[in-house]
Chains A and B, each alone.
Chain A
Amino acid sequence: MDDRTAPPIVGVIEQVAGQAPHRPALIHEHGAVGYGRLVAEVRGLAAQFARAGLRPGDAVGVALGEERAAIPVSLALLRLGCRQVALPPRDPAPVREDLATRLALVAVVGLSPSDAAGSAALIVPDIEAAARDDGPVAAPSLAGDVVVGTSGTTGRPKLMLADQGQLVHHAATLAGYGTVFHRQVPFDSNYGKRLTLRSLVTGGTEVLGTDLTPDALAELCARHGVTRVHMPPQVAEALFAAGARIGATWPDATRIFTTGARIPQALRLGLQERLGCGVHVQYGATEAGMVTIAGPEEHAAHPDTVGYVLPGVEVMLVDEHGRPVPQGEEGLVRIRSAGAIDRYLDDPAATARHCIDGWYQPGDVGRFAPWGALLVAGRRDDMMTLGTIKILPAEIEAVAEGFPGLRDCAAFPVRAPALGDIPVLAVVGDAGFDAAGLLAHCRARLGLRAPRKVVAVEAIPRNAMGKVLRQQLAEMAR
């Protein structure tokens, strides 16, 4: 279902349940939840919420850390036509209070009074009772939607609405890579929620488990025959580090999916070699959904490609004035897709900057390879200007990666009024790391675009999705 005229998500899941009620929808540590049981829970919960006074269109927070409970609750709110937002218990109270006020939440589904925020009423779900409740309920609504926020690398998160079509955009594409899936991304994140919903509308089976060690993850995938596992780049790094130990356990059929414009080639190839499975990188944005997927074949053609633009998604490259650039030249990426938003919530400035003439412009700079694959060079906002020289951190990082003893690195600017942005490279290296050697290595390959200094740090600061916090690096180096 790749368009917005698709039936309601819960309606599709109920169709799956009608055909295969015993097929496992969710597998958790204590057993499995079949589609029939899941649908019964969702209907019962929707009835509980309606009795608690919730009406279609109401904005409701979900503060349940337990995913086994959060998933049917989220589906019940969609079914009822409510607007939902995750209030992860791990988020600080002021962040949750701010969201509750900003979205005028009428209720919070949670377990204890401390889960409620703002003036919202607390609703405690009873899943066992819901599963037994076979009373009449209204048909699933298409109106229910989800408020999602970008984790952001600077400032306050930007909020947006994802409708049901957007939430499960390209569900069949992902299912094509494997229908028994697992994610090391929380359900209360936008990315995690979309993965779960996509699995459910395609009749897939999700194996639940949070914060697993590499060994536990390998064991889980082997035990349940997981064919597709999604993880942020830092989990992929941890797997790679443990690869020599868990390589024998990791099932060859378990494909790894991670996200980002550029996953180091050494990490990708190393993972494939140590675990014996394919590594796929999704490129997209919370605002635009999935745009491309690059797997081993695409990466063999070019190590830095993000792959081919998915069917139904358009990518145009433009200059600073919004004019298309000639074929093969670098430009700002613009995305048009049924999975993309057309505005942010109460943020006209961000809307004007990113949502332009029906396109979403994430701020990435890219070009098309002659064979049609997309290459993303980095973020326009990260571009450094030293005198008249334009430098993207990604090109420096690509040259540095693989240098002996280098474990992690990120380039960032030191701003000098008379000169512009001086590129500096933060590194996490093994003991006795040869910083001068790395500097010379970069200079020989990058010339004037080379970093002018290498600074050693304990760890590269990143946000939850693995994006480098360059501002913070610049402050650390000060």
Chain B
Amino acid sequence: MSRDPAAMRALVVRAVLANPVTLFPDEATRARLEDPAADCAFEELGFDSLARMEFCIWMQLEAGIEIAEAALLDHPSVAALAAHLAGR
């Protein structure tokens, strides 16, 4: 089932912002996160193994989307992951 890529990107951003173990991004990073034309790598957002787990938990509980931590390594930016999930 493929989904709307823009909606998926917005969902991924919500999951990033809701992450309980990462710091809230600075203004410039936040602006890039919310700009549909821009991208942001998970590494820049301070994502480590725990943050990836929390991201996957949020996606499961809040969006019903099943995703493994490895997907964030294979698709290491917000845009890349959103495109992967939208096309899945």
Q: Across the two chains, which residue of chain B brings its CB closest to A419?
A: B56
Q: Which residue of the partner chain, among A417, A418, A443, A452, contacts B58 with CB atoms under 8 Å?
A: A452
Instruction: Please determine whether B61 and A422 come into contact, CB atoms closer than 8 angstroms.
Output: yes
How big is chain A's contact interface, by range?
10 to 19
Instruction: Report B-chain residues with C-beta under 8 Å of the C-beta of A386.
Output: 53, 57
Q: Is A448 an interface residue (CB 8 A)?
A: yes
Instruction: Please determine whether B67 and A452 come into contact, CB atoms closer than 8 angstroms.
Output: no
A453–B68 CA distance with the chains assembled, in angstroms: 19
Instruction: Report B-chain residues with C-beta under 8 Å of the C-beta of A443.
Output: 20
Give a binary string over A401-435; 1 marks a CB under 8 Å from any B CB, 0 the rest.
Answer: 00000000000001011110010100000000000
A232–B31 CA distance with the chains assembled, in angstroms: 56
Q: Which residue of the partner chain, among A387, A418, A453, contacts B67 with CB atoms under 8 Å?
A: A418
Q: Is B60 an interface residue (CB 8 A)?
A: yes
Q: Across the two chains, which residue of chain A brings its CB closest to B62?
A: A453
- Given contacts A448-B50, A452-B61, A453-B61, is CB(A418)–CB(B20) below 8 Å? no
> In this complex, which of B53, B57, B58, B61 has the most chain A Cβ atoms within 10 angstroms of its Cβ?
B57
Instruction: Please determine whether B50 and A414 come into contact, CB atoms closer than 8 angstroms.
Output: no
Instruction: Report A-chain residues with C-beta under 8 Å of the C-beta of B69.
Output: 418
Instruction: Please determine whether B50 and A419 come into contact, CB atoms closer than 8 angstroms.
Output: no
Q: Is B66 an interface residue (CB 8 A)?
A: yes
Instruction: Please determine whether A418 and B50 come into contact, CB atoms closer than 8 angstroms.
Output: no
Contacting A at CB under 8 A, from B22-54, are 50, 53-54
Q: Across the two chains, which residue of chain B brings its CB closest to A455?
A: B61
Instruction: Please determine whether B60 and A387 come into contact, CB atoms closer than 8 angstroms.
Output: no
Instruction: Report A-chain residues with C-beta under 8 Å of the C-beta of B62.
Output: 453
A267–B57 CA distance with the chains assembled, in angstroms: 33
A154–B61 CA distance with the chains assembled, in angstroms: 25
Instruction: Please determine whether B57 and A418 come into contact, CB atoms closer than 8 angstroms.
Output: no
Instruction: Please determine whether A419 and B61 come into contact, CB atoms closer than 8 angstroms.
Output: no
Contacting B at CB under 8 A, from A445-459, are 448, 452-453
Instruction: Please determine whether B56 and A418 come into contact, CB atoms closer than 8 angstroms.
Output: yes
How big is chain B's contact interface, by range?
10 to 19
- Count of CB-CB pairs between chains A and B under 8 Å: 32
- Given contacts A387-B53, A448-B50, is CB(A416)–CB(B20) below 8 Å? no
Contacting A at CB under 8 A, from B60-87, are 60-62, 66-69
Contacting B at CB under 8 A, from A371-407, are 386-387
Instruction: Please determine whether B53 and A414 come into contact, CB atoms closer than 8 angstroms.
Output: no
Q: Across the two chains, which residue of chain A brings its CB closest to B67?
A: A418
Instruction: Report B-chain residues with C-beta under 8 Å of the C-beta of A416.
Output: 56-57, 60, 66
Min Cβ gap A124→B in Å is: 57
Instruction: Please determine whether A418 and B61 come into contact, CB atoms closer than 8 angstroms.
Output: no
Instruction: Please determine whether A419 and B60 come into contact, CB atoms closer than 8 angstroms.
Output: yes
Instruction: Please determine whether A422 and B57 come into contact, CB atoms closer than 8 angstroms.
Output: yes
Instruction: Please determine whether A419 and B57 come into contact, CB atoms closer than 8 angstroms.
Output: yes
A424–B58 CA distance with the chains assembled, in angstroms: 12
A113–B76 CA distance with the chains assembled, in angstroms: 72
Give a binary string over A47-88; 1 marks a CB under 8 Å from any B CB, 0 the rest.
Answer: 000000000000000000000000000000000000000000
A416–B68 CA distance with the chains assembled, in angstroms: 9
Instruction: Report A-chain residues with C-beta under 8 Å of the C-beta of B67.
Output: 418
Q: Which residue of the partner chain, among A387, A418, A452, contacts B66 with CB atoms under 8 Å?
A: A418
A97–B19 CA distance with the chains assembled, in angstroms: 54
A288–B24 CA distance with the chains assembled, in angstroms: 53
- Given contacts A452-B61, A453-B61, is CB(A419)–CB(B20) below 8 Å? no
A453–B20 CA distance with the chains assembled, in angstroms: 12
Q: Across the two chains, which residue of chain B brings its CB closest to A477?
A: B61
Q: Across the two chains, which residue of chain A brings its CB closest to B71?
A: A418
Instruction: Please determine whether B61 and A414 come into contact, CB atoms closer than 8 angstroms.
Output: yes
A386–B56 CA distance with the chains assembled, in angstroms: 12
Q: Across the two chains, which residue of chain B brings its CB closest to A448?
A: B50
Q: Across the two chains, which residue of chain A brings its CB closest to B60?
A: A416
Instruction: Please determine whether A452 and B57 come into contact, CB atoms closer than 8 angstroms.
Output: yes
Instruction: Report A-chain residues with C-beta under 8 Å of the C-beta of B50.
Output: 448
Instruction: Report B-chain residues with C-beta under 8 Å of the C-beta of A453.
Output: 61-62
Instruction: Please determine whether B53 and A419 come into contact, CB atoms closer than 8 angstroms.
Output: yes
Give a binary string over A223-265; 1 marks a CB under 8 Å from any B CB, 0 the rest.
Answer: 0000000000000000000000000000000000000000000
A–B complex contacts, Cβ < 8 Å, 30 sampled:
A386-B53, A386-B57, A387-B53, A414-B60, A414-B61, A416-B56, A416-B57, A416-B60, A416-B66, A417-B66, A418-B56, A418-B66, A418-B67, A418-B68, A418-B69, A419-B53, A419-B56, A419-B57, A419-B60, A419-B68, A422-B57, A422-B60, A424-B61, A448-B50, A452-B54, A452-B57, A452-B58, A452-B61, A453-B61, A453-B62
Further contacts, 11 of them, CB under 8 A, given A416-B56, A417-B66, A419-B57: A386-B57, A414-B61, A416-B57, A416-B66, A419-B56, A419-B68, A422-B60, A443-B20, A448-B50, A452-B54, A452-B61
Which A residues have a C-beta under 8 Å from some C-beta of B? Answer: 386-387, 414, 416-419, 422, 424, 443, 448, 452-453
Counting from the closest, the 3 A-B pairs by CB-CB distance are: A418-B68, A416-B60, A453-B61
